[in-house]
Structure 1
Amino acid sequence: MTTASALPPRAGRRCHNMVNPLHSSVYFSPDLAEKMAEVGITAPGAAYFAARAAAFGAVGPGTVTAAFYNFNPELVARHVPAVWRAAGPDVVLASRLRAVDATLRRLLGLGAGPVESPELAEAAKLALTAAEACTAHARPLYAAQAEQPVPEEPHLAYWHAATLLREHRGDGHLAALLAAGLDPVEALVSHTASGKGMAAKWVRGSRGWSREDWAAAQDRLRGRGLMDAEGGLTEAGVTLRKDLESETDRLDAAPYEHLGAAGVERLTELAAGFAATAFAAGAFPADALGKG
């Protein structure tokens, strides 16, 4: 699958942007809360921390806070390590896979029987090929997920590969945020102000930050000349966010270069179709989108 053909500008980013929604949809899904509740994880919000962190093993809140970057440490400590007392990491990972199965079957209309989708099988093969070039050094979330076995069914294999690609890019993005001097709240505020993030109210609630925390971060960004009085990005702020994405692209180039231009184009096409179907099926809550 590897080819020497050059990738078009930002082809890897576009591919990621199409692949990631199906990965992310599980963390918004009622199926995840349901499957986690079956093993004793019932506190609101706990399912996310358990499902995403379980590949690390029974780690403490410090590890999760460091790896996730933009969550309030107090919110993380509310759930970790309590989730491991309810269900061990292996149990959580098995429950997560059941949630993935239920979510993708519902969103993509796959039915209850064996999944016989040549498009999903093709996408899984392409995404797994891309993931062969992911690197583990300084990428804890990717490295932990990469130790998990590849599921046999194509929709689950595709989700697994999408998870590897998402966490690989995400780990690199966190390195870029750190190098740019953006702390967790400043990263969220500036991303939301760029118009490409989720709604500010939803971000604050899901990440555990108060309005005061948000306003203080805005003040710090204004002090650096990155945000204006109305809460929008200045020219310097826009440039910083663009540079962050370009640096993330650079750090995440290997999987897509490995897959090659034709493979990236085909994976983007397939993933876009899956993402559109998932969005139409209500994969994401309305209040998470927009600028509210």
Structure 2
Amino acid sequence: MTTALPPRAGRRCHNALNPLHSTVYFSPDLDREFTALGFTDQSAMRLASRSAALGAVGAGTVAATFYNYNHELLSRHLPAVWETASPAAVLDARLRTADATLRRLLGDDAVASPEMAEAAGLALHAAQACTRHARPLYSAHADLPVPEEPHLAYWHAATLLREHRGDGHLTALLSAGLDPVEALVSHTATGKGMAPRWVLGSRGWRRDDWDAAVERLRGRGLLDADGELTESGTALRAGLEEDTDRLDAAPYAHLGAAGVERLTELGRGFLFAAASAGAFPADLTGKG
């Protein structure tokens, strides 16, 4: 019999694992691998990397599954990216990127450590309880083979858990009535989301799109005159996370309290090492 999970234990575990998946998007290794495939645009590289598990999809599918990207940006690159490289070639390049990135950030000793193998086993065990229905990005990645090397198996499992939670989060965003830009603005206002310049640069929105979303949120009483979350806005964002926790509870319940605690501990250790090695830009998050 498993012990009941402490409140938000699954969220804390996700927060330890998810960023390690994301290291590839800021990695020079991704640029090198994808340039070798023939890519010349960084947006195209990153869009292809995350969407390749879905197959040779177009802008419409990616707009639906990514939620907060501007369709105009997506249309500039999709489905044209698949003329540069097939989804299978992109997935191979992404796995090579993950291998090189984790070895560079963590070191070969950590990659080959018993702790890495333990983390991979725990994360894969949790992912066994993920569900496919209404979760397109998770389900597409769940069809991919599990890599044999433990550090890549861990990265793969972190990807599964990330996309499972992310797919559920989209349901919560729709229920809260937040459109793509409003979701980004309100997240940034918490101080935990990407800084505006990173959002605008990566998601394809313009500053006037951002400002219009700010005004809509003010009209709903969710932001104040200074662009800070109001009490209602704070409650809405907290409710979003609680709804997402509920929709994402199964993998962590399956792993059990002791397993979740241990996976969180291991994940935080790897994440701290990666961040200390410069995995993420210093100005990635914040309100400025």
Q: Same fold (TM over 0.5)?
A: yes
Using the TM superposition, give the Cα deviation of residue 291 of structure 1 relative to its aligned residue in structure 2, in angstroms: 2.2
Deviations 1:137-175 (A, max 9, x none): 000000000000000000000000000000000000011
Matched, 1:26 2:27: no
Of 240, 264, 267, 2:263 maps to 267
* Counterpart for residue 210 of structure 2: 214
The two structures have a TM-score, normalised by structure 2, of 0.98
* Counterpart for residue 56 of structure 2: 58
Of 181, 186, 191, 1:190 maps to 186
Q: Could you tell me how far apart the structure 2 residues matched to 1:8 and 1:241 are? A: 21
Whether the 8 Å CA contact 2:102–2:111 is kept in 1: the answer is no
* Counterpart for residue 166 of structure 2: 170
Using the TM superposition, give the Cα deviation of residue 115 of structure 1 relative to its aligned residue in structure 2, in angstroms: 4.7
Aligned-pair identity (%): 71
* Counterpart for residue 284 of structure 2: 288
* Counterpart for residue 132 of structure 2: 136
Q: Could you tell me how far apart the structure 2 residues matched to 1:105 and 1:47 are? A: 21
Q: Could you tell me how far apart the structure 2 residues matched to 1:254 and 1:204 are? A: 34
Using the TM superposition, give the Cα deviation of residue 241 of structure 1 relative to its aligned residue in structure 2, in angstroms: 0.2
1:191 alignment partner, SS class: helix
* Counterpart for residue 70 of structure 1: 68
Whether the 8 Å CA contact 2:192–2:285 is kept in 1: the answer is no
Whether the 8 Å CA contact 1:203–1:288 is kept in 2: the answer is no
2:108 alignment partner, SS class: coil
Whether the 8 Å CA contact 1:75–1:207 is kept in 2: the answer is yes
The two structures have a TM-score, normalised by structure 1, of 0.97
Using the TM superposition, give the Cα deviation of residue 45 of structure 1 relative to its aligned residue in structure 2, in angstroms: 1.5
Using the TM superposition, give the Cα deviation of residue 221 of structure 1 relative to its aligned residue in structure 2, in angstroms: 0.6
Deviations 1:172-223 (A, max 9, x none): 0011001100000000000001111111121111111111000100111111
Whether the 8 Å CA contact 1:115–1:153 is kept in 2: the answer is no
Question: What is the one-letter code of the residue matched to 2:195?
Answer: A
Whether the 8 Å CA contact 1:199–1:290 is kept in 2: the answer is yes
Q: Could you tell me how far apart the structure 2 residues matched to 1:44 and 1:204 are? A: 14
2:38 alignment partner, SS class: coil
Root mean square deviation of aligned Cα = 1.1
Q: Could you tell me how far apart the structure 2 residues matched to 1:187 and 1:68 are? A: 12
Q: Could you tell me how far apart the structure 1 residues matched to 2:3 and 2:154 are? A: 24
* Counterpart for residue 13 of structure 1: 11
Runs of 4+ with deviation above 6 angstroms: none
Matched, 1:95 2:56: no
Question: What is the one-letter code of the residue matched to 2:26?
Answer: F
Whether the 8 Å CA contact 1:23–1:159 is kept in 2: the answer is yes
* Counterpart for residue 241 of structure 2: 245
Question: What is the one-letter code of the residue matched to 1:148?
Answer: L
Q: Could you tell me how far apart the structure 1 residues matched to 2:168 and 2:108 are? A: 33
Whether the 8 Å CA contact 2:182–2:217 is kept in 1: the answer is yes
Q: Could you tell me how far apart the structure 2 residues matched to 1:42 and 1:34 are? A: 10
Q: Could you tell me how far apart the structure 1 residues matched to 2:21 and 2:56 are? A: 23
Q: What is the total number of aligned residue pairs between the two structures?
A: 288
* Counterpart for residue 220 of structure 2: 224
Q: Could you tell me how far apart the structure 2 residues matched to 1:76 and 1:233 are? A: 30
* Counterpart for residue 254 of structure 2: 258
Q: Could you tell me how far apart the structure 1 residues matched to 2:24 and 2:118 are? A: 21
* Counterpart for residue 276 of structure 1: 272
* Counterpart for residue 126 of structure 1: 122
Gaps of 5+ in 2: none
